[in-house]
Structure 1
Amino acid sequence: MADVVDRPQAAPAEKSRPIDTPSIWHAGEMALQETVGVRRAMERQGAQVIRDHLIDQHRLFFPLLPSIIIGAVDENGDVWSTMREGPAGFLSVADNKTLEIAATVDVSDPAEAGLSDGCSVGLLGIQLGTRRRNRLNGVVRGRGANGFSVGVRESYGNCPQYIQLRNYSFEPAPASRPSRQESAELSDVHRAMIAAADTFFVASYVDRDGSRHVDVSHRGGKPGFVRVNKDGSLTIPDFAGNLYFNTLGNILVSGRAGLCFPDFESGSLLQIVRRQHQ
């Protein structure tokens, strides 16, 4: 089983002062923010940029996309990163609290188990041709054969760092496509795919105050930026980010992660789940 290896980016230290108001961050995020000395700054920034609704800019953005990245948790507590694609407009915004996704049920996708009504999910809208991206998390509603909606819990924008520019568009899947294959370890084909990748997505989650919060985010770099070690673990460089530590904070608390490496030429996905150590 492949492990995710990453570490926080150092930042200037700041004096520690008590923060009296309830935090938007959970314990894992706060612990890592404190480690690099940005705890108080992130408290202020989080309150400014993380919203409980889609702003107008994001409402216009999502319907432009040919795909959406999804993080979902199955009945075993494993978190999966996956993608759904469609023609222009398959993503639509009913109101500033609801994103509609016209995506049929895909029983070959292990993430499908976490897309039932009431399930918490994380979503990432990313436009590789312009390097725009926006994230949200929320709850699945109205799951049917042809789609579902997500009630927005948190929404915020991300910077364009490390997004590899590429033009791509939606093409319907062929009538006969390769079937799902499962493995307990990385094959030579998997290792080669990871070694050649310049983009992958990582899903994570945390259970907090009686509810589940799922997140999915982007990682990118030059081909080969992810190293596959002999034991099957993965080493990922610690590129400077927004210092929110959403992903690493979630992993610190839950011990779980799900990675998705897309092959933009063939349309196939390599999905890797990192389970909690026993």
Structure 2
Amino acid sequence: MQDRADLTRQASFALGGIGESIPPVAAAFLTEQPMIIVGGTDAAGRIWSSQLVGDPGFLRVPDPRTLLVDALPLAEDPLAEVLAGPATVGMIAIEPTSRRRMRINGRSTPTTGGLRVDLDQVISNCPKYIQKREFRFLSDSGSAPAPGGTRHVTRGTALTPAQQRTLRATDTFFVASSDESGNTDASHRGGNPGFVQVLSPSVLRWPDYLGNAMFLTLGNLELHPAAGLLVPGWDTGSTLHLTGAARTLWDADETARVPGAQRLVEFTVTGVVEIADAVPLRWSAPNYSRFNPPVS
């Protein structure tokens, strides 16, 4: 993918940002976060993306090769069964307040009320396309709802009209992918509202903007098209989970019609899970990134 994009030299430098352990400054960053995104693969081979939340401090780093997460997904969450046993996971911690983020990939095992993740990769990322937001919890404790709590859940194989409107209005989503061996990664995608195009109830398209040239997500999709998307309800606490397959479009004419696009990614939806009031975490209205290209 790097060769095809003619970015091999830049990519070689960028790949130096991939390590195997968490440095002290990153460990401190993790302890300050109220949320982490996680991606994994279910028993049917479908990839899903979700979020785990808790009071800052619910993420802990007892040693540079281990992450402890004091939270589990709701029973209704598509990753609940996956994370109930050993799993290969991709994770991204993102701090919209400061536009910082880091990715953590490894192998998780369940603990009492949470997860232990033995790390394979720790990846630094740039702050581009992150919308600035401030967080608050609805409850005094700030804790996530207990697993098994009752929530209104909508399931389907295509997007409802309301879900299509949500996607057209979103400025952020997360995408989980894996290589052909199941090594999983989670990544962030951001832009001005409208950067996600809804072509039909089962087909989405978004621009791939100029980034760090690692091509971790697009490289995975080239080898293994399965992917999972998470669209957080920043002001409602809802979660919209999509699973399906994605491919990179290199059509120069199509790409030229989308401001800022280096190439396009098309995603075919095969499964949808929407959970209302999934988490008690709420975020302020966004301050859009100055790097966001305009949306035509």
TM-score, length basis structure 2: 0.77
The Cα offsets for residues 10-44 of structure 1, whole Å up to 9 and x where unpaired, read as xxxxxxxxxxxxxxxxxxxxxx1010122244234
- Are the equivalent residues in 2 in contact too, given 1:105–1:145 (CA < 8 A)? no
Partner of 2:178: 205
Structure 1 residue 45: deviation in Å? Answer: 3.4
> Which residue number in structure 2 is paired with residue 21 of structure 1?
none
Partner of 2:231: 261
The alignment partner of 1:134 has SS state of strand
Give the Å deviation of 1:174.
7.0
Q: Is the 8 A contact 2:10 2:213 kept in 1?
A: no
CA distance in 1, matches of 2:180, 2:207: 27
Query: 1:56 deviation in Å?
Result: 1.3
Q: Aligned pair 1:39/2:12, yes or no?
A: no
Quick check: 2:160–2:201 contact (8 Å CA) kept in 1?
no
Tell whether the 8 Å contact from 2:52 to 2:73 is kept in structure 1 after alignment.
Answer: no
Q: 1:215 aligns with which of 157, 163, 185?
A: 185
Q: Secondary structure at the match of 1:169?
A: strand
Segments of structure 2 that go 5 or more residues without pairing to the other structure are: 247-267, 271-296
Counterpart-to-counterpart distance in 1, 2:201 and 2:132: 32
| 2:152 equivalent in structure 1 | 179
1:56-75 maps to which residues of 2 (within 5 A)?
56-75=24-43
Q: Using CA pairs under 8 Å that are at least 6 residues apart, name the structure with larger relative contact order, 1 or 2.
A: 1
Give the deviation of 1:251 after TM superposition: 1.1
Greater percentage in strand:
2
Tell me the amino acid that sits aligned with residue 87 of structure 2: C
Q: What corresponds to 2:126 in structure 1?
A: 159
How many residue pairs match? The answer is 242
Q: CA deviation at 1:232?
A: 2.7
Root mean square deviation, CA, Å: 2.0
Q: Does 2:98 align with 1:130?
A: yes
Q: Which runs of 5+ in 1 are unaligned?
A: 1-31
Mapping 1:187-198, distance limit 5 Å: 187-198=160-171
Corresponding residue number in structure 1 for 2:252: none
State, as a whole percentage, how many aligned pairs show the same letter: 34
The 8 Å contact of residues 14 and 213 in structure 2, kept in 1 or not, is answered as: no
Contact persistence 2:11–2:212 (CA under 8 A): no
Offset at residue 230 of structure 1 (A): 2.7
SS in 2 for 1:59: helix
Stretches (4+) displaced over 6 A: none
Relative distance call for 1:231 and 1:90 in structure 2 (3 A) is closer
* Shift of residue 99, structure 1, vs aligned partner: 0.6
The CA deviation at 1:111 is 1.3
C-alpha displacement at 1:235, in angstroms? 1.2
1:237 aligned partner = 207
Whether contact under 8 Å (1:71, 1:81) holds in the other structure is yes
